[in-house]
Structure 1
Amino acid sequence: MSMRFLLATLLTAAFAFIAGMFLPWWSIAIVSFLVALFLLPNIGLGFLSGFLGIFILWGFLSLWIDLKNESILSGKIAQIIPLGGSSILLILVTAFVGAIVGGFAAMAGSSLAPVMVRK
């Protein structure tokens, strides 16, 4: 993996964390799009970078929140959603949903990168 990919992944996670403090949850898409637009012209690496950056961020944040409230909330939500009451599975699903949003947004940004460079 290249340094640009690693940098894009870390910047996506860091900027999405900062944006999440002030903006709605979907701001992760804007962050992923912009980071990939400026750093990754490869569509596949763009998707993977956005996916991994948001997966790691949302997975870590969900786990942290889960540990802070002793899995009470996640256990109840995991019973409502057919996850068998598994808090860990709910954390993984949460991280995956965010990662899909981040990945597709980054893929869109990567696909526009060559167009932006030509102009």
Structure 2
Amino acid sequence: MRLFLVILLVAAGAQLLLPWWSITPVAFLAGATLGRPGGRVFLAGFAGIGLGWLLLASWQQVQGAGRLSHRVAQLLPLGGQGWLLVLVTALIGGLVGGLAALAGYWLRQAARPLAAPAPR
């Protein structure tokens, strides 16, 4: 839960000043420092970034009356459905965040020194 909140809040703050891909180093570093075993690292990254993008895209969809998302959805094979574009956006962001957090956790595991073998 702590990893999820850190990724959600820090990535949302970073995107105010930095490009969209700033979510990747945020999730990577959070996964490397706060990650726990058991597959929860991917889920925390996926939910943290996915929820952040879902909220932002939904807000923009409502504020703009869906005009921009409708036009973009017409360019993609989404049939002009703006809300489907919002869901696809959240899914893509979630996958990027989840994989970045998992990569950070795996790097920490790979860099951890191996335990010395027990003497016989």
TM over 0.5: yes
| Structure 2 counterpart SS, 1:91 | helix
Structure 2, unpaired ranges of 5+:
115-120
1:108 maps onto 2:103 in alignment: yes
| Structure 2 counterpart SS, 1:85 | coil
Q: How far is the alpha carbon of 1:24 from its aligned partner?
A: 1.1
Figure out how many residues of one structure are paired with residues of the other and give that number: 114
Map residues 57-76 of structure 1 onto 2, 5 A cutoff: 57-76=52-71
Q: 1:94 aligns with which of 78, 89, 92?
A: 89
Q: How far is the alpha carbon of 1:45 from its aligned partner?
A: 1.3
Note the aligned Cα RMSD (angstroms). 1.6
What is residue 73 of structure 2 aligned with on the other side?
78
Partner Cα separation in structure 2 for residue 101 and residue 21 of structure 1: 18
Which letter maps to 1:7?
Answer: R
Map residues 12-27 of structure 1 onto 2, 5 A cutoff: 12-27=7-22
Q: How far is the alpha carbon of 1:29 from its aligned partner?
A: 0.5
1:1-41 C-alpha deviation (Å, 9 max, x unpaired): xxxxx110111010001110111111101000111111113
What's the TM-score once normalised by structure 2's chain length?
0.88
Which letter maps to 2:7?
Answer: T
What is residue 37 of structure 2 aligned with on the other side?
42
Structure with bigger gyration radius: 2
What is residue 3 of structure 1 aligned with on the other side?
none
- More moved, 40-49 vs 57-66: 40-49
Identity of aligned residues (%): 40
Q: How far is the alpha carbon of 1:115 from its aligned partner?
A: 4.2
Q: How far is the alpha carbon of 1:113 from its aligned partner?
A: 2.5
Partner Cα separation in structure 2 for residue 29 and residue 43 of structure 1: 21
Of Structure 1 and Structure 2, which has the larger fraction of its residues in helix? 1
Which letter maps to 1:91?
Answer: V
Which letter maps to 1:23?
Answer: L
Q: How far is the alpha carbon of 1:73 from its aligned partner?
A: 0.6
Q: How far is the alpha carbon of 1:47 from its aligned partner?
A: 1.0
